[in-house]
Amino acid sequence: MNQNLIENLKKGLFLEISNEIIPWKTPFNELKKIGNPELKKYSEQRTDLIWENETILNGLTVSLNVMNWAGIGGLKKKFTYAYSNISEQEFKETKTRFDSEFGKKGKYKKINELEHKFYWNLEQCKIELSERDRFGTYWTITIVKKKKFWF
């Protein structure tokens, strides 16, 4: 089990190239000060921060995305979710590596006939590797902060 990786995930998501951690619950507007993300405004409703070619989770190079939707839910948006599309090869290699680094096999969940995912429930977050289908197959990694119901 990789204790350093697990300890970092308790605090947030470590950006290995930038050598900075994105702390959980950081307000969206403060995220642009961490590393070197690019701000992309896709519409009046959606703004993304994208860390291009950043390395996360012990060696996975990604274009890390954090979205912010306008409206009531987006006004005080805090960092609780990030994702990236990855290749099929990265999906397979990362699944094998996570099984080892987290000290347990990822749980398998069938979504439908064409889609499935593996996920690891950790103390502060859940990491998912998904194979999806939308006009063709694609693979993603998602890191989600777990919600605490008592505060």
Tens digits of pLDDT across the chain (151 residues): 788 999 999 999 999 999 999 999 999 989 999 999 999 887 888 889 999 999 999 999 999 999 988 766 555 688 999 999 999 999 999 999 999 999 999 999 999 999 999 999 998 999 999 999 999 999 999 999 998 755 4
- Closest by CA to 83, choosing from 57, 107, 108, 109, is 57
Token digits for 7?
């300890």
pLDDT computed for residue 149 by the predictor:
58
Q: Is the pTM of this model over 0.75?
A: yes
- Closest by CA to 57, choosing from 100, 20, 16, is 16
pLDDT computed for residue 151 by the predictor:
47
- Closest by CA to 84, choosing from 67, 106, 104, 101, is 67
The two counts, helices (H) then strands (E), for the chain are: 3, 10
